[in-house]
Amino acid sequence: MESLFNYIGLKGDFLSFSLELNISSNHVGRIERAETNPTIESLVVFCNFLEIDLLYLFTKLNEKELKKIESEIDQLQKEFKNQNKRKS
């Protein structure tokens, strides 16, 4: 779950996501960092936002699927760091 919220943040969709959920971006950040848990209502909106089935969140991924997600998150983190360096 934490990885999926991290993915949203890295994709730069936090503002749209927090507006859709009608919650503050700070709260979304706490969910991303696993400091708090989302409500079931938030999970439903989250799944609708990403256009994924709610059951997907509770499905155990195989090693290949997990590695693919982790690889994409790593790539997005690198891109995000590079964008921030260019802005400085």
Asked if residue 74 has pLDDT above 80, the reply is: yes
In the predicted model, is pLDDT for residue 58 greater than 80? yes
The amino acid present at 74, given as its one-letter code, is: D
Average the pLDDT over 4-21 and give the result: 62
Residues 44, 50: Cα–Cα separation, whole Å: 10
Q: Do 69 and 11 form a contact (C-beta atoms < 8 A)?
A: no
Coil, helix or strand at residue 50: helix
% of the chain at pLDDT higher than 90: 2
Q: What is the pTM of this model?
A: 0.51
75 pLDDT above the threshold of 80? yes
Q: Which pLDDT band, with edges at 50, 70 and 90, does 28 fall under?
A: confident
Q: Give φ, ψ of 31 to 5 degrees.
A: -65, -45
Give dist(CA 10, CA 48) in Å, integer. Answer: 18
Residue 64: pLDDT over 70: yes
